[in-house]
Amino acid sequence: MTDTELAAVCWVRAVEQGAGEAVPWREADAAWASAEARRAVGESDDHATALAFLVARAQLAQRRLAERDAAWRSPLHVSAEAPRAWRWLLWVGAGLLAALIVGNALGPTQRINLLAPPVLLLLVWNLVVYALLLVASGRGPSAWLAQAIERARTGISGRGFAAPLVAARARFAAEWAVATRGVQQSRVAAALHMAAALLALAVVASMYMVGLAFDYRAGWDSTWLDAQAAQRLLATVLTPASAVSGIALPDAADLARLRFAEGSSGERAGRWIHLYALTLAMAVIAPRLALAAWAGWRARRAAAGLALPLDEPYFRALLRDGPQRPRPVTVLPYSYTLGTAQRAALGAALAAAIGPGAQPRVAASLPLGAEDDLVRQLPDDLAPDVAALFAASATPERETHGAFVRALVAALPRGAQLTVLVDESGLRQHTGRAPDAELRLTQRRAAWQRLLHDLSLPAPRFIDLAP
């Protein structure tokens, strides 16, 4: 599942959880989206088909929401030109910052201070980041920035919209942040590393470009350091670049002759620009590009593992109307004999009560008292789904009906799913058009519900097997 598909599912879920008068989404829309998605993916109950159904349904719903009201389109919707614009802004920003650093490093008087704070600070900053990456273990700047972005998105996205839209966007932001935490953190890390590499590259390019047009002189000055200390500092920073390039570093005596405060005009800055450029390449550009590649790989791996929690009530409810393979259901009538017409109607009633694909296998009717020796009376070929079927015309009793369901729960094999069905067709036929027919039906439903609830048994589902 891609993050775009996951975003569609999260957004439609956020909308449906707050559906009401002010939301442009109705039950008829939900039924339409489920039916169209089911038709698109076909019939199957495997995991891949279930995911495809949820994604297709979310995409259909997302499109309909956007068509009805543009304000209700997904918060992650962006125009095709947006990424290109952000890339240009990134280049311009890096160029301006690099020009500022180089301008301070080279100076307006065409003198390069070899202890130039901007370039050294750039190196120190990157070394600090590397240290944080070693000790933070996933709690470094990228994690903090990712969390800050999600909080900002939650706050900003709702401005100027009606309250239901604000609530929907807040729910989406919370779910999206949790569902894609690993992906977003790695992407933020990759972006930060690429930005740092780009900045260092721009600094290097700027130094060479400025050096082409002006004759810069290199020297040094310091309030606190003497020539020997300055030489140690420069050796610490530039020795790796010197070893790679073969460009020699001056000793303390030679460096003393380059001190501006002593009246020196310095020396041509070429070798120092080469040394600083090579140092930035080795200490910043190459490591940051490698870290960006590593973070990008982790983001792709995390994105490949994106999944939906299909066991949550929202998705379980959707999948009841989703694609299904035939699901055999063993139906155990208790003190109830089904007629031909009732058997014919059982398939549709079972699918409505349990879900699409339910196919009844009606066992022989069990007599009153069957709970006393239930294991011997159960069919040998019990399906994974079992339904206990009662007639609503019978008054539910704890000692018979309740005892039967309890015994059935204990007798079913591990993993079997039990559904309690109560057929109202006989009671409706008996009451006919009497003035209190609906009242009697309501009272009988309440009696069944109360009995099973008091015994901590599955709640009954009421069906009508009238032909």
- Token representation of residue 30: 């939900």
**342 in the same domain as 202:** no
**203 in the same domain as 71:** yes
Looking at the domain assignment, is residue 246 inside a domain? Answer: no
- Position 42 scores a pLDDT of 80
How many residues in the chain? 467
Looking at the domain assignment, is residue 143 inside a domain? Answer: yes
> What CA–CA distance (Å, rounded) separates 285 from 197?
5
Instruction: Give me the amino acid identity at 332.
Output: L
Looking at the domain assignment, is residue 353 inside a domain? Answer: yes
Mean local confidence (pLDDT), 390-418: 91
* CATH code, 393: 3.40.50
**112 in the same domain as 16:** yes
| Number of domains composing the chain | 2
Last residue of a domain, one of 295, 323, 351: 323
Query: pLDDT exceeding 70 applies to what percent of the chain?
Result: 85
Strands 327-333 and 267-268: unpaired
pLDDT tens figures, 89-107? 666 666 666 666 655 555 5
The answer, yes or no, to whether residue 343 has pLDDT greater than 60, is yes
pLDDT tens figures, 268-301? 888 998 999 999 999 999 999 999 999 999 988 8
Q: How confident is the model at residue 156 (pLDDT cuts 50, 70, 90)?
A: very low
**431 in the same domain as 332:** yes
Q: Which residues of 206-237 are buried (b: 16+ CB within 10 A; e: fewer)?
A: bbeebbeeeebbbbbbeeeeebeebbebbeeb
Q: How confident is the model at residue 157 (pLDDT cuts 50, 70, 90)?
A: very low
**Which domain, by its residues, includes 418?**
326-463
- Position 91 scores a pLDDT of 62
pLDDT tens figures, 370-385? 999 898 889 888 888 8
Strands 358-362 and 217-219: unpaired
**436 in the same domain as 374:** yes
The answer, yes or no, to whether residue 423 has pLDDT greater than 70, is yes
Looking at the domain assignment, is residue 193 inside a domain? Answer: yes
> What CA–CA distance (Å, rounded) separates 351 from 340?
18
- Position 45 scores a pLDDT of 65
Q: Which of 22-31, 89-98, 192-201, 275-284 has the lowest mean pLDDT?
A: 89-98
**183 in the same domain as 127:** yes
Query: What Å distances lie between residue 167 and 15, 26, 155, CA to CA?
Result: 9, 17, 11
Last residue of a domain, one of 287, 306, 323: 323
pLDDT tens figures, 160-172? 445 788 888 888 8
**316 in the same domain as 373:** no
Instruction: Give me the amino acid identity at 397.
Output: E
**422 in the same domain as 314:** no
- Position 315 scores a pLDDT of 83
pLDDT tens figures, 58-92? 999 999 998 888 888 887 764 434 445 555 666 66
Looking at the domain assignment, is residue 226 inside a domain? Answer: no
Phi-psi region of 246 (alpha: psi -120 to 50; beta: other; left: phi over 0): left
**400 in the same domain as 294:** no
**192 in the same domain as 339:** no
**124 in the same domain as 211:** yes
DSSP string, 130-182: HHHHHHHTT-SHHHHHHHHHHHHHHHHHTTTS-HHHHHHHHHHHHHHHHHTHH
Last residue of a domain, one of 323, 344, 369: 323
Assign 102 to helix, strand or coil. Answer: helix
The answer, yes or no, to whether residue 394 has pLDDT greater than 80, is yes
What is the pLDDT of the chain when averaged over all its residues? 83
Mean local confidence (pLDDT), 346-371: 86
Looking at the domain assignment, is residue 240 inside a domain? Answer: no
**83 in the same domain as 10:** yes
Looking at the domain assignment, is residue 229 inside a domain? Answer: no
pLDDT tens figures, 313-333? 888 778 777 776 677 899 999
The answer, yes or no, to whether residue 150 has pLDDT greater than 70, is no
> What CA–CA distance (Å, rounded) separates 172 from 152?
13
> What CA–CA distance (Å, rounded) separates 45 from 38?
11
* In contact, 211 and 270? CB cutoff 8 Å: yes
Looking at the domain assignment, is residue 84 inside a domain? Answer: yes
* In contact, 356 and 320? CB cutoff 8 Å: yes
* In contact, 142 and 192? CB cutoff 8 Å: yes
> What CA–CA distance (Å, rounded) separates 467 from 425?
9
Mean local confidence (pLDDT), 208-214: 78
- Position 399 scores a pLDDT of 93
